[in-house]
Chain A
Amino acid sequence: DTEVTQTPKHLVMGMTNKKSLKCEQHMGHRAMYWYKQKAKKPPELMFVYSYEKLSINESVPSRFSPECPNSSLLNLHLHALQPEDSALYLCASSQDASGSNPSYEQYFGPGTRLTVT
């Protein structure tokens, strides 16, 4: 069983809605990630949090707003999304994200399938 949990599993939202995706990890990891995955494509990195601070934003539009309330939790706030934002959103965690420890593997949650109507 995965030790990275994500809620909800499925989400349908209109373009004017505000919603949030939630992720929790129970492995004591200090780095957490958001990825977006379109059908038949590999995951694309969106954000990286290291020690609860945003360290990487891969030029993601501001309608996606990440938040890391503590080292175990990661949220992704969604507002005014477009239909092309429909995708599987994956959360991941790793022991560390610093450049000095690139060996640490990332563990992924089951994802949230988002549909924007």
Chain B
Amino acid sequence: AQKVTQAQTEISVVEKEDVTLDCVYETRDTTYYLFWYKQPPSGELVFLIRRNSFDEQNEISGRYSWNFQKSTSSFNFTITASQVVDSAVYFCALRGGSNYKLTFGKGTLLTVNP
């Protein structure tokens, strides 16, 4: 069975603060894929990143960075110098090696206040 836990239901920060969204996953697959999606109020899920289980390198893209640690089964997402436009629900998701299905976490609502 696969499971994704996003323990933070809601986070509120002031603009320019750094914020980390936590994601912990469970899977029995040795090969798996982790994803982050952003869902702004408009509704569309925007793909942010995919990380393969065999690639533990962290990644940085502009103000976004991701920390993948297999030892703790975590795939955390940090936004540096947050902006109001970052306000959205963020979903972490997992897909196992032979599984067609994306397992989503419950999402974290991030509100960035001016």
User: 0/1 per residue, B26-64, Cβ < 8 Å to A?
Assistant: 000000110101000011111100101000000000000
Q: List 27 A-B contacts (CB under 8 A).
A: A2-B44, A41-B107, A42-B91, A42-B104, A42-B105, A45-B102, A48-B100, A56-B100, A90-B45, A99-B98, A99-B100, A102-B32, A102-B33, A102-B95, A102-B96, A102-B99, A103-B33, A103-B95, A106-B47, A106-B102, A108-B37, A108-B46, A108-B47, A110-B42, A110-B43, A111-B44, A113-B43
Most buried by B among A56, A88, A98, A103: A103
A contact set with B: CB distance below 8 Å: 2, 40-43, 45, 48, 55-56, 88, 90, 92, 97-99, 102-103, 105-111, 113
> How many residues in B have their beta carbons less than 8 Å from beta carbons of A?
25
B residues contacting A by CB (< 8 A) are 32-33, 35, 37, 42-47, 50, 52, 91, 95-102, 104-107
